[in-house]
Chain A
């Protein structure tokens, strides 16, 4: 079973839920797909056994063969190529590595070199099998890196995918194809706004979802009303407690802070396995 954890927005407690679920269940794998800001390692403290560089092909011009015809700039839909007076300029950060310029150059003067967009670190921490992607600073290619991290999914384990925040392309890539998506939210107007977007996203890609309310202070009406209207189950509430926030600040997970949370997360998983209705 593959469970993704998404949130519509950062800072709602996505990593907390994903990490604790991974720690509470037997035989799990945690994949951190929040490649811009992976944080799961802070809690799982994995022993990294392998590092893999992830590269994408970027065009380069053989100046001897190039006759400056301008076709490459013409066919590049991303504005990544410009032909000036007597040279071809290539802007890697705009390039999508689609290969159009290479394939359509009449002189066959363009070749590709692989450039690093980030790396993947694989290991194990606290009994959980671990992998995360780290996007190179300044790189805009989060989506292909997420795709690469997901290739490390181990089908023999329960896989927990920590998605990036938001509802855009890299998030869709992370949640796509998972069996269930846990949407973490807060009982505030912000939380509701972002939850709505996240629900829209899971529906667009056809992944069933349920809600986890984090920082609940007992008055979750805002989220409850929405969940009832949309027919979505509220599967778990984590209370707003200063002690939890303090534990988090030290990199201590909920299940380590309070043993009882182990059972709470096991129950959460059982509910998901049964189809996710609370």
Chain B
């Protein structure tokens, strides 16, 4: 089984647009949306949900204020400043370390499990899909990403499917680490903007740290040809293959607005041909690994 992850260093570069097209162009795979903070792939793939599960990963401290003697030990040991002067725990600040519970001399603190989000197994026109939604203001997105990947792997084994296509989270932080680690190939989507180049360098460094080979796609490449050249030179210098350039095209925005998959919306138009060509290159790379 091989896992392909699509990342971008930053949101809004066209990661999900490209991933959805890959989904439509490939067979024999499972889709996993690991952008658990703001999952969007389902808006394009329109899955029918087969199973919904709660994601419970954290716990928060609760103080029984009636029995509390206000000795202040809990407040002294809490490094997250999660306990107020009148001994109420703010669940948003509590990291569930249980130190207050363990240090309370009269044992009036207990832990309560928190629901941190939901995850789903679904069926789409293009095959099975696993995705999730982290609760608002929740952490542990890295854990939820790992869970989505684990479930996708299980499902792939069960259904005897050979590939997992992962729509990665934006950024270079904890959830991206969880999405990249152990995958066979990463496709980095970037834009010819100053921030695009900046973010590309960071994500490329990250894929190197994780020893995951990477390919680069430049979206809206004709917005700034100078910057695109700079990206090309950077890729050459780092010996990373740039496998495709997608032009700035209003059909992309129209497809998005219509909530349609780009390669379907564009039919046999120019954009479709470019994206199809990119997918074929990705797929052959994946098979050579």
Residues of A within 8 A of B (CB): 8-12, 15, 36-37, 39, 42, 75, 77-78, 93, 96-100, 103-104, 135, 137-140, 142-143, 164-172, 187-190, 193-194, 197, 200-201, 204-205, 215, 217, 219, 222, 240, 242, 245-246, 248-251
**Residues on the B chain within 8 Å of A171, using CB:** 137
Q: Which of B102, B136, B209 contacts A104 (CB 8 A)?
A: B102
Interface residues of B in 179-236 (CB under 8 A from A): 191-196, 198-199, 202, 205-206, 209, 220, 223-224, 227
Is B43 a contact of A99 with CB atoms below 8 Å? no
Bound together, the chains give a CA A251 to CA B10 distance in angstroms of 16
Q: Which of A37, A97, A164, A249 contacts B193 (CB 8 A)?
A: A249
Bound together, the chains give a CA A172 to CA B90 distance in angstroms of 13
Q: Which of A166, A205, A219 contacts B37 (CB 8 A)?
A: A166
Bound together, the chains give a CA A188 to CA B256 distance in angstroms of 6
**Residues on the B chain within 8 Å of A8, using CB:** 38
**Interface stretch among B21-29, B91-99, B154-162, B262-270?**
B91-99
Q: Is B283 an interface residue (CB 8 A)?
A: no
Which of B12, B97, B139, B198 has the most chain A CB atoms closer than 10 A to its own CB?
B12
Is B80 a contact of A167 with CB atoms below 8 Å? no
Is B96 a contact of A77 with CB atoms below 8 Å? yes
Is A168 a contact of B172 with CB atoms below 8 Å? no
**Residues on the A chain within 8 Å of B206, using CB:** 137-138
Q: Is B141 an interface residue (CB 8 A)?
A: yes
Bound together, the chains give a CA A144 to CA B127 distance in angstroms of 40
**B143: min CB distance to chain A, Å:** 10
Q: Is B173 an interface residue (CB 8 A)?
A: yes
With contact pairs A37-B9, A189-B43 given, residues A165 and B170 touching in the complex (Cβ less than 8 Å): yes
Is B172 a contact of A135 with CB atoms below 8 Å? yes
Nearest chain-B residue to A42 (Cβ)?
B194
Nearest chain-B residue to A41 (Cβ)?
B198
**B238: min CB distance to chain A, Å:** 15
Is B172 a contact of A140 with CB atoms below 8 Å? no
Is B173 a contact of A100 with CB atoms below 8 Å? no
Q: Is B19 an interface residue (CB 8 A)?
A: no
**A41: min CB distance to chain B, Å:** 9
Q: Which of A11, A137, A142, A219 contacts B12 (CB 8 A)?
A: A11
Total interface residues in chain B, CB < 8 Å? 56
**Residues on the B chain within 8 Å of A77, using CB:** 59, 96-98
Bound together, the chains give a CA A137 to CA B205 distance in angstroms of 8
Nearest chain-A residue to B99 (Cβ)?
A100
**A117: min CB distance to chain B, Å:** 11
Nearest chain-A residue to B169 (Cβ)?
A166
Q: Is B153 an interface residue (CB 8 A)?
A: no
Interface residues of B in 99-129 (CB under 8 A from A): 99, 102-103
Q: Which of B97, B103, B248 contacts A96 (CB 8 A)?
A: B97
**A43: min CB distance to chain B, Å:** 8
Q: Mark B49-61, 1 if CB is under 8 A from A, else 0.
A: 0000000000100
**Residues on the A chain within 8 Å of B196, using CB:** 249
Interface residues of B in 18-49 (CB under 8 A from A): 37-38, 40, 43
With contact pairs A100-B102, A137-B202, A190-B16 given, residues A201 and B137 touching in the complex (Cβ less than 8 Å): yes
A and B contact pairs by CB, cutoff 8 A, 7 listed? A11-B170, A77-B97, A98-B95, A140-B174, A167-B137, A172-B92, A193-B40
Which of A188, A189, A200, A249 has the most chain B CB atoms closer than 10 A to its own CB?
A249
Is A39 a contact of B198 with CB atoms below 8 Å? yes
Is A194 a contact of B40 with CB atoms below 8 Å? yes
- Which 6 A-B pairs have CB atoms at the shortest separation, nearest pair first? A11-B12, A10-B11, A98-B97, A166-B37, A140-B174, A249-B224
Bound together, the chains give a CA A135 to CA B196 distance in angstroms of 17
**B247: min CB distance to chain A, Å:** 11
Is B253 a contact of A39 with CB atoms below 8 Å? no
Nearest chain-B residue to A252 (Cβ)?
B194
